[in-house]
């Protein structure tokens, strides 16, 4: 057992999978450069020393190397490909959506594209183009699995499960959760460290986690907002409201049994999402829940419909916070169960 | 097939080109009479690029193709039947009816289903070649694309990565002078595509794409380079589309004189004339070849018309590699 942050846990997960399976390799920008960074957030730092032939540094060509990863996966390899910032996935989207996600279906099942795609997201003082949450753009892509861990234990287990899965899997990582220490520490980072067991384990790609049980309102989040959901639930408890907090974690496919059971129990759901409210993942969860459970009361706490702003007061206003989550939950409870 | 450049081999090249022509002409008729769903992008006039390249490859080599892939498919060894079934949307098609005309392919025969996003197959082919290199296999990938794809970022990114990693990819530009209706000189200052090879530090060559034997010879050299670890190679094959971009395109943008000039260089006529002049085949034998191809096509059409359509239950299958429990 050791205490690790998300970056270290991911690094160990990648190394262990590369050790276990010779078909696994890393592909991305600024990885495997001696004296370099190990990717933008140090996740692959030093791996090139252990696996000199399987940590492949690319030109700055996101469309190209996501296509390369897809082609290599088709031929039996298992690439782990990353972008430095999730925003750059737009460049790679043709290869991800039109090729990696569709080739199996449009070939009538002839092709497998087992590949893991890693993308850091989240507003962190970098203005509009190194900041946005990209989950919304990929959860509705048939053929793609999407996960979003909030802590180091899940990050390691989900990455390992993703490597072993025969389909393309997108893993979103939040920049404020990588760790509060080290070269890439972010101001305002949240402690997402976990006790990591010594042995091998995986976390299922299609299971949400109930991180606090409660009966009066269910608060759903993922990545950073899973932490907000838990903090809000604890604060509500001190006010006498019994809230359940769920780390949605698996965004595509969503874990409907877990989410629906919680919603059925409480009758009230608050979904917390970093990113514009319009057209987000929370909208999809809300709509599906209302179809499943007519009469359910649902509220979304999300960002304003604007790009991520730079100035700290504006960025803080953009990002959902505990106070807004608590207020939304309280409001649902005050107006009662319909 | 018989040994390259002997008489039997040359006749087989001709036969394969004629099969493609008969297939395309027959399919065009089926579309015009409304017998087939969807749309088509055909390759009449470009048979030599498909056949010359694919015959120079091994069976376990791969090709990537485009929305204009019927010729590539027949050249790589797919049957008229599996293609026609696919075009009819039948569950017996090469992609179970889920691909259609723009996505024909058969991985067991070395053809990735057509990538219909212009340039989209180029990085994919580089990645397939990267896998071959990492697996220490001597397979190669031939990546077909048109002149239009050269303007895409995917071309630059894919070719560049193949170049820096010396990947076994033959980038095959079928330069038919038009991207849809737009002539190449309207979108390229330097319309000699093979010139771009120098910028990537790789070998490049422009070849008469209507001379199937020349295409074969260039591809054979390119494949050998790739297998020796000296890839990739950029081949520019000059050819001409003697049909519309897609089903109802009357080709008003192609000048009449140009059409005539290229009709005189029809790839099937070029080889037929050569084989007759050299006494390898006579007119009657070639006619018989055409009749055989036509008969083969007609029989395949009859079966394809009767082939089973997918069941509604197939809508959700083939999405994930291990279908999740319902």
Q: Chain A: nearest CA to B45, how far in angstroms?
A: 27
Contact at 8 Å (CB) between A246 and A259?
A: yes
Give Cα separations from A261 to A152, A243, A269 (angstroms). 26, 14, 11
Catalytic-residue membership of A130: yes
From the list A55, A53, A34, the residue with the least C-alpha distance to A44 is A55
Q: How many residues does chain A have?
A: 338
Among B113, B126, B321, select the one facing A112 at the smallest CB separation: B321
Query: Domain-by-domain residue ranges, chain B?
Result: 7-308
How many angstroms separate the CA atoms of A267 and A242, rounded?
Answer: 12
Among B123, B320, B322, select the one facing A63 at the smallest CB separation: B123
Quick one: CA torsion of A27, A28, A30, A35, rounded to 10 degrees? -20
pLDDT at B189: 96
The partner residues of B34 in beta bridges, in order of sequence, read none
Chain A residues with beta carbon closer than 8 angstroms to that of B167:
none
Helix (H) or strand (E) holding B82: helix B80-87
Q: Can the peptide bond before residue A253 be classed as cis, meaning omega within 30 degrees of 0?
A: yes
Alpha carbons within 13 A on the beta-carbon side of B23: 30
Contact at 8 Å (CB) between A247 and A229?
A: yes
Does pLDDT of A184 surpass 80? Answer: no
The partner residues of A221 in beta bridges, in order of sequence, read A247
pLDDT at A338: 44
pLDDT at B56: 98
Token pair in block for residue A138: 């990929």
Contact at 8 Å (CB) between A55 and A32?
A: yes
DSSP assignment string, A92-110: HHIIIIIIITTHHHHTTS-
Q: Can the peptide bond before residue A159 be classed as cis, meaning omega within 30 degrees of 0?
A: no
- Helices assigned H by DSSP within A59-205: 62-74, 89-93, 103-106, 135-138, 152-164
How many angstroms separate the CA atoms of A250 and A248, rounded?
Answer: 6
Mean pLDDT of the A266-294 span: 98
- Helices assigned H by DSSP within A165-311: 224-238, 256-266, 281-292
Among A54, A69, A165, select the one facing B127 at the smallest CB separation: A69
Does pLDDT of A211 surpass 50? Answer: yes
Which of A54, A59, A68, A170 would best serve as a mutation to test chain B binding (most B beta carbons within 10 A)?
Answer: A68
A112 contacts B128? CB cut-off 8 A: no
From the list A141, A142, A147, A189, the residue with the least C-alpha distance to A169 is A147
Chain A residues with beta carbon closer than 8 angstroms to that of B128:
71-72, 74-75
Backbone angles phi, psi at A120, to 5 degrees: -75, 135
How many angstroms separate the CA atoms of A70 and A88, rounded?
Answer: 17
Q: Which residues does A contribute to its contact with B (CB < 8 Å)?
A: 25, 53-54, 56, 58-59, 61, 63-77, 94-95, 98-99, 103-112, 114, 142-143, 145, 165-167, 206, 253
ipTM of the complex: 0.96
How many angstroms separate the CA atoms of B158 and B302, rounded?
Answer: 42
- B135 in contact with A at a CB cutoff of 8 Å? yes
Residues 6+ apart with CB under 8 A from A98: B115, B117, B120
Among A64, A106, A112, select the one facing B158 at the smallest CB separation: A64
Which residue does chain A place closest to B129, by CA atoms? A72
**How buried is A278 (Cβ within 10 angstroms: 0-12 exposed, 13-18 middle, 19+ buried)?**
exposed
Other C-beta atoms closer than 10 Å to the C-beta of B250 total: 7
% of chain A with per-residue pLDDT over 90: 91
pLDDT at A181: 62
How many angstroms separate the CA atoms of A281 and A283, rounded?
Answer: 5
Token pair in block for residue A219: 């608060």
Backbone angles phi, psi at A272, to 5 degrees: -110, 120
Contact at 8 Å (CB) between B65 and B111?
A: yes
Chain A residues with beta carbon closer than 8 angstroms to that of B120:
67, 94-95, 98-99
Q: Residues A98-149: pLDDT tens digits?
A: 999 999 999 999 999 999 999 999 999 999 999 999 999 999 999 999 999 9
Domain A2-196: CATH architecture, name and number where available = 3-Layer(aba) Sandwich (3.40)
Other C-beta atoms closer than 10 Å to the C-beta of B222 total: 29
Chain A residues with beta carbon closer than 8 angstroms to that of B106:
110
Chain B residues with beta carbon closer than 8 angstroms to that of A108:
93-99, 318
Q: Where does the pLDDT of residue A39 fall: very low under 50, low under 70, confident under 90, or very high at 90 and above?
A: confident
For tokens 């604060």, the residue is A235
* CATH number for the domain formed by residue range(s) A209-334: 3.40.50.920
List the Cα angle A36/B127/A136 in 5-degree steps: 75
Contact at 8 Å (CB) between B284 and B291?
A: no
Does pLDDT of A183 surpass 70? Answer: no
Q: Chain B: nearest CA to A108, how far in angstroms?
A: 4
pLDDT at B46: 98
Indicate where chain A has its CATH 3.40.50.970 domain(s).
2-196
For tokens 């359509």, the residue is B309
Supply the DSSP symbol for A293.
S
Among A59, A108, A206, select the one facing B161 at the smallest CB separation: A59
B94 contacts A98? CB cut-off 8 A: no
DSSP assignment string, A3-53: EE-HHHHHHHHHHHHHHH-TTEEEEETT-S-TTS-SSTTSTTTTHHHH-TT
Q: Does 3.90.1150.10 match the CATH number of domain B7-308?
A: no
Beta-strand relationship, A194-196 and B233-238:
unpaired
Q: Chain A: nearest CA to B199, how far in angstroms?
A: 15
pLDDT at A199: 96
Q: Residues A219-276: pLDDT tens digits?
A: 999 999 999 999 999 999 999 999 999 999 999 999 999 999 999 999 999 999 999 9
Contact at 8 Å (CB) between A22 and A215?
A: no
Number of A:B CB contacts under 8 A?
Answer: 153
Q: Chain A: nearest CA to B144, how far in angstroms?
A: 15
Contact at 8 Å (CB) between A79 and A119?
A: no
Catalytic-residue membership of A291: no
Beta-strand relationship, A55-57 and A24-28:
parallel
- The catalytic position among A8, A17, A48, A130 is A130
A95 contacts B120? CB cut-off 8 A: yes
Indicate where chain A has its CATH 3.40.50.920 domain(s).
209-334
Contact at 8 Å (CB) between B170 and B137?
A: no
A59 contacts B134? CB cut-off 8 A: no
Q: Where does the pLDDT of residue A335 fall: very low under 50, low under 70, confident under 90, or very high at 90 and above?
A: low
Helix (H) or strand (E) holding A175: none
Contact at 8 Å (CB) between B245 and B181?
A: yes
Segments in chain B below pLDDT 50: 326
Q: Residues A83-92: pLDDT tens digits?
A: 999 999 999 9
**How buried is A34 (Cβ within 10 angstroms: 0-12 exposed, 13-18 middle, 19+ buried)?**
exposed
Which of A22, A56, A80, A110 would best serve as a mutation to test chain B binding (most B beta carbons within 10 A)?
Answer: A110
Q: Rounded to a whole number, what is the distance in angstroms from the first to the last CA of chain B?
A: 48
Which of B86, B117, B157, B200 would best serve as a mutation to test chain A binding (most A beta carbons within 10 A)?
Answer: B157
Contact at 8 Å (CB) between B207 and B215?
A: yes
From the list A135, A123, A22, the residue with the least C-alpha distance to A79 is A22
How many angstroms separate the CA atoms of A311 and A188, rounded?
Answer: 14
Q: Residues A305-327: pLDDT tens digits?
A: 999 999 999 999 999 999 999 99
Among A74, A77, A142, select the one facing B134 at the smallest CB separation: A77
Give Cα separations from B210 to A159, A174, B65, B223, B267 (angstroms). 50, 54, 18, 20, 5
Token pair in block for residue B70: 């019927």
């Amino acid at each position: 057992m050791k205490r690790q942050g998300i970056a270290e846990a991911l690094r160990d997960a990648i190394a262990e999978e590369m050790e276990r399976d010779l078909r696994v390799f890393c592909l991305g920008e600024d990885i495997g450069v001696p004296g370099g960074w190990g990717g933008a957030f140090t996740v692959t730092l030093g791996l090139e020393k252990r696996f000199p032939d399987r940590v492949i540094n690319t030109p700055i060509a996101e469309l190209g190397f996501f296509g390369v990863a897809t082609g290599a996966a088709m031929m039996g390899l298992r690439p782990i490909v990353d972008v430095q910032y999730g925003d750059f996935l737009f460049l790679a989207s043709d290869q991800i959506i039109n090729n990696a996600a569709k080739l199996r279906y449009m070939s009538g099942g002839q092709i497998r594209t087992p590949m893991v795609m890693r993308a850091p997201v989240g507003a962190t003082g970098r203005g509009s183009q190194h900041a946005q949450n990209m989950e919304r753009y990929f959860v509705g892509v048939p053929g793609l699995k999407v996960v979003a861990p909030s802590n180091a234990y899940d990050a390691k287990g989900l990455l390992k499960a993703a490597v072993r899965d025969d389909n393309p899997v997108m893993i979103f990582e939040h920049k404020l959760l990588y760790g509060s220490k080290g070269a890439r520490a972010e101001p305002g980072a949240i402690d997402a460290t976990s006790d990591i067991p010594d042995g091998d384990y995986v976390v299922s790609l299609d299971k949400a986690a109930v991180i606090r049980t409660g009966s009066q309102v269910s608060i759903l989040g993922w990545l950073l907002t899973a932490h907000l959901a838990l903090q809000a639930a604890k604060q509500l408890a001190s006010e006498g409201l019994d809230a359940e907090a769920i780390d949605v974690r698996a965004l595509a496919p969503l874990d409907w049994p877990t989410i629906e059971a919680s919603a059925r129990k409480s009758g009230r759901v608050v979904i917390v999402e970093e990113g514009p409210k319009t057209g987000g993942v929370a909208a999809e969860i809300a709509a599906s829940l209302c179809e499943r459970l007519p009469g359910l009361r649902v509220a979304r706490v999300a960002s304003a419909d604007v790009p991520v702003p730079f100035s700290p007061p504006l960025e803080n206003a953009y990002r959902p916070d505990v106070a807004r989550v608590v207020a939304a939950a309280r409001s649902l409870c005050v107006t009662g169960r319909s | 097939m018989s040994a390259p450049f002997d008489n039997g081999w040359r006749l087989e090249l001709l036969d394969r080109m004629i099969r493609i022509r008969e297939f395309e002409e027959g399919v065009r008729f089926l579309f015009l009479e409304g017998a087939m769903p969807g749309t088509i992008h055909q390759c009449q006039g470009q048979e030599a690029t498909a056949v010359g390249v694919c015959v120079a490859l091994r069976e376990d080599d791969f090709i990537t193709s485009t929305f204009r892939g019927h010729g590539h498919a027949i050249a790589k060894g797919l049957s008229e039947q599996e293609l026609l079934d696919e075009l009819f949307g039948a569950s017996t098609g090469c992609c179970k009816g889920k691909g259609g005309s723009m996505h024909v392919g058969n991985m067991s025969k070395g053809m990735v289903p057509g990538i219909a996003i212009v340039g989209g197959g180029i990085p994919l082919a580089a990645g397939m070649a990267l896998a071959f290199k990492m697996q220490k296999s001597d397979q190669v990938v031939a990546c077909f694309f048109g002149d239009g794809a050269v303007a895409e970022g995917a071309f630059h990114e894919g070719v560049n990565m193949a170049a820096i990693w010396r990947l076994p990819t033959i980038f095959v530009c079928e330069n038919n002078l038009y991207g849809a209706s737009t002539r190449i000189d309207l979108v390229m200052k330097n319309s000699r595509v093979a010139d771009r090879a120098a910028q990537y530090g790789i070998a490049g060559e422009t070849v008469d794409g209507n001379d199937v034997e020349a295409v074969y010879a260039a591809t054979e050299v390119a494949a050998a380079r790739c297998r020796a670890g000296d890839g990739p190679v950029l081949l520019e094959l000059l050819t001409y589309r003697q049909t519309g971009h897609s089903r109802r395109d009357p080709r008003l943008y192609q000048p009449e004189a140009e059409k005539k000039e290229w009709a005189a260089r029809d790839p099937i006529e070029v080889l037929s004339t050569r084989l007759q002049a050299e006494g390898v085949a006579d007119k009657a034998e070639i006619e018989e070849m055409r009749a055989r191809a036509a008969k083969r096509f007609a029989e395949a059409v009859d079966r394809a018309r009767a082939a089973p359509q997918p069941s509604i239950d197939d809508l959700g299958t083939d999405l994930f590699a291990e279908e999740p429990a319902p």
